[in-house]
Amino acid sequence: MIKVAIVTGASSGLGHAISIAYSKQGWSVVCGDLSGQVPVGESQTTGDLINEAQLGRAMFVSVNVSDSNSVQNLISTAVSQYGRLDVMVNNAKISLESHNKLGPKPITETADATFDQTMAVNTRSVFLGCEYAIRQFMTQPLLASGSRGWIINTSSVYGLKAETDHVSYCTSKAAVIHMTKCVARESAPAKIHCNVICPGFIRTGMDSNLHSNAAVIPATHSLLC
C-alpha cells in the first residue's frame, strides 16, 4: 500500500525538502501552499520535480492554511486523489520580523496586524491541520502497525527560547509546541501520533534578510548552543 502525506508550505524551504524526502520513500505527496512557486535554486515546482524524477506521485493543492474551509479542501482533495491520508505535516509559516528591511522590532513597535497574521499562519494553521487530519484518520481502519495516522508540526528553536524583538514569531512557535503536546495526549488512545520538530536556523528564502544582518547573526547562532 502506497502511503500518503500532506505537506503544507511545500513550495519552498523546509517544506520542499520534506516533500522530496517522502517522495524518495515512494510516498504519494500532496504539496499544499498558497502558490505553486518554483523553489529557489530549482527549475521546477516541488510536485513537478517529484513526478518527473518518478520518485513517487505528487500533486499541488492551493491552500490558505489559516482558513478552515481551505484546509478541509486540502485534505478532502488528497483523499479523493489517493484514497487515504497517513501523515499530515503542518509546516507552513511566516516570519514577518525576518522580512522587515529595518530588522526585527520590539513589541512597542510591532503592529497588531503583524502579530495577528503571524498567529494565524503559524499557530491557527496547526490547529486546523491537526483537527481535520484527525477527523480523516478516524474514518480509516488501523494499519498493520496498530497505528491510525501521524501528525508532524513544525515549530522552531524560537519556540523554545525567547529572542529579543521577535515577540510575534516566538509566541506563535511556542504555542505550536504546547498545542502538539495537548493533541498528542488526547489522540493517543485512537492510535494517532502527534509530534513536533524545532529546527534551528536554516538558510531559506523566508529568512534571507537575516543572513546578511550582522546584528542578528550572533543571536541566531546562540540559539544552537
Contact 160, 117 (CB under 8 A): no
Provide the domain count of the chain.
1
What DSSP letter does each residue of 50-81 carry, written as one string? HHHHTSSEEEEEE--TT-HHHHHHHHHHHHHH
Instruction: Write the CATH number for 67.
Output: 3.40.50.720
Q: pLDDT for 133-177, tens place per residue?
A: 999 999 999 999 999 999 999 999 999 999 999 999 999 999 999
Quote the domain boundaries for residue 125.
4-222
| The overall pTM is greater than 0.75 | yes
Model pLDDT, residue 35: 82
Task: Tell me which residues are annotated as active site.
Answer: 169
pLDDT at 57: 87
